[in-house]
Structure 1
Amino acid sequence: MLAHQKITGKIDSYLSRFEVTSTQISILLLLVISENGFETPGSISRKLGLSNPTISNVIKTLNKKELVKKEVSEKDKRFCNICITSKGLIFLNEVMSEYHLKYERLLMNFTSEELKYLKHNSLKLFCSLDFF
C-alpha cells in the first residue's frame, strides 16, 4: 500500500503539469487500445473499476477539453460511444513520451528477468482485481 501511495502521488504530481488526472489518462489509454476504436461509458466503468457517475464526469471533462468525442451508437440510439479525438492522441503522446522516460529511470535498477516477472505479476494482479 505504501508503494502504491507513493507511486500515485508521483504520477498525480507529474500529470498536474498537464492539467489532467490519472483517471483521465487511463480513459484515453483505454480508448487507444480499444479493439473497436471506442468504448461505452459502461465498459469504461467496468474495465477501470470506477462508478458510472465518476466515469460520466471524467468523460464530460475530457469532452470539454476536446480530447474525446461522444457518438450516438448505431446499434442503439439510447447509448453513446466514446472515441479519442486527434487532439486527444496528440495530447496523450505528449504526456506519455516523458512519462515513459520517467518509468525507464524508475525501473533501471531491475534486471531483465526481474522486469519479466514484474510485468507478468502486474498483469496477473490486474486481472485478479475484479475479485477484490
Structure 2
Amino acid sequence: MVQPQPDGPMQWDMSGEDSAGALRVPPELAGHEVVSRLLCDNQQLREALRRSNQALRLRCEEMEGWQQRTRDEREFLSCRFQEARALVERLAQEKSLAKGHSERAGLLPFFRCVLQLKSDRRPAGASNCKRADGWSADS
C-alpha cells in the first residue's frame, strides 16, 4: 500500500480494496482539467504496462518452450551419437576380427603351397594350389 501524507490534496489508495490502485481525488479538485488529464494519462499508462507485461509473459513462455525443445533435441542427438559411436566401434572390431580370420585362413594354404613349390623345385606357374578366397599362386 502506497499512500502519501494524509494532509496532501491527493491520496493514493493501492490497497486494492475499493479502487484497485486508482487515484482518489478530493471533491474540490475533481473538476479541474489538469487532474482529469492526469487521471486519463495514468489509466493509459496502466493499460500500456499491462499489455507490455502480457507480451513479455508470452515471449518468456515461447523462450522457455524453445529452450526445452532445444534441450530435448540435444539429448536425443547425444543419445543417437552414442549409439552410432558404439555401432562403429563394434563394426570396426568385427572387421578386425574377420580380417584376422580371413588372413589366417587364406594365407595358410598359400604359404603351404609356396613351401611345397620350393621343395618340389617346380616353376611357379606349374602349381594348381589355391587360397581359400580362390586366388591361386599362378595368377
Shorter-chain TM range is under 0.3
TM-score (norm 1): 0.20
TM-score (norm 2): 0.19
In our comparison, the structure showing a higher alpha carbon Rg is 2
Q: Higher RCO, 1 or 2 (CA under 8 Å, sep at least 6)?
A: 1
